[in-house]
């Protein structure tokens, strides 16, 4: 006996309605993404950046925060240390862009040099052997590298400061495609390994 067309249509709609349009969860990261901040391009300072201040100062050594970048410097303006400050290689060699609040903010301070850059030969450092100057973790935290002395926790250096008093501790484990680092929340008594989603150099 033939099934009526209406009944067949109802059965098909019923079978096809079981979560057919439910959103699929986002796939996990398969590897840590590497990013490089580029304040300058062929046309000068990137139009995506906002200059919030202009200062005069000097640079006294290569960047400690962005050590693998040949265009990054550690500078001073008054009593403030600015690191990293990125040099405009193609444009005015006396102007450097110093990011404010890490690579996630569009705000920069423009530093005009009052003395030439240090003449000594820079150390050639590979990204494989240097720490990123900022990291984004799987829990949403964005953390910046400490370039000064820090106390140890569980025998490891506090390498990164994160908003709210959280911190990333010890060297980043790069043995797997997704890097990992120990993380401690502000009110936590334990260190936990956390995936590094993005590493900025």
* Predicted model pTM: 0.81
pLDDT at 11 over 50: no
Question: For residue 158, what are its two tokens?
Answer: 């506090």
pLDDT at 65 over 80: yes
φ/ψ (deg, to 5) at 12: -65, -45
> Over the stretch 163-189, which tens digit does the pLDDT of each residue have?
999 999 999 999 999 999 999 999 899
pLDDT at 160 over 90: yes
Q: Rounded mean pLDDT of 34-48?
A: 93
Q: Rounded mean pLDDT of 64-89?
A: 95
Q: What is the pLDDT of residue 122?
A: 73
User: Could you count the other beta carbons within 10 Å of the beta carbon of residue 130?
Assistant: 16
Spatial distance between the Cα atoms of 124 and 126, rounded to a whole number of angstroms: 7
Nearest CA to 77 out of 64, 58, 60, 54 is that of: 58
The whole-chain average pLDDT of the chain stands at: 87
Q: What is the pLDDT of residue 25?
A: 55
The DSSP code sequence of the chain is -PPPHHHHHHHHHHHHTSSTTPPPPPPPPSSPEEE----EETTEE-TT-EEEEEEEEEEEEE-STTTT-TTEEEEEETTEEEEEEEE-SSS-TTEEEEESSSTT--EEEEEEESSPPP-SPPP---GGGS--SEEEETTS-EEEE--S---EETTEEEEEE-GGG-EEEEEEE-SSSS-EEEEE-TT-SS-EEEEEEEEE-
Residue with tokens 């709609």: 13
pLDDT at 6 over 50: no
Confidence of residue 77 (pLDDT cuts 50, 70, 90): very high
Least confident range from 85-94, 109-118, 144-153: namely 85-94
pLDDT at 8 over 70: no
Confidence of residue 121 (pLDDT cuts 50, 70, 90): confident
Q: What is the pLDDT of residue 120?
A: 75
> Over the stretch 96-115, which tens digit does the pLDDT of each residue have?
999 999 999 999 999 999 99
Spatial distance between the Cα atoms of 155 and 162, rounded to a whole number of angstroms: 20
């Amino acid at each position: 006996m033939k099934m009526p067309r209406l009944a067949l249509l109802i059965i098909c709609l019923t079978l096809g309605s079981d979560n057919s349009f439910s959103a699929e969860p986002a796939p996990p990261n398969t590897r840590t993404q590497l990013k490089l901040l580029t304040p300058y391009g062929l046309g000068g300072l990137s139009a995506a950046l906002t200059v919030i201040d202009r200062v005069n100062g000097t640079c006294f050594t290569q960047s400690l925060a962005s050590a693998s970048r040949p265009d990054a410097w550690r500078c001073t303006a008054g009593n403030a240390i600015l690191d990293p400050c990125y040099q405009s290689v193609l444009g005015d060699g006396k102007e450097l862009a110093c990011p404010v609040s890490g690579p996630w903010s569009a705000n920069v301070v423009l530093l005009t040099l009052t003395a030439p850059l240090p003449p000594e030969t820079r150390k050639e450092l590979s990204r494989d052997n240097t720490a990123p100057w900022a990291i984004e973790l799987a829990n949403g935290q964005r953390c910046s590298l400490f370039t000064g002395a820090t106390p140890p926790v569980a025998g490891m250096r506090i390498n990164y400061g994160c908003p709210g008093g959280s911190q990333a501790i010890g060297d980043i484990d790069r043995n797997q495609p997704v890097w990992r680092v120990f993380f401690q929340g502000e009110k936590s008594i334990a260190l936990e390994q956390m995936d590094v989603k993005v590493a900025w150099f």
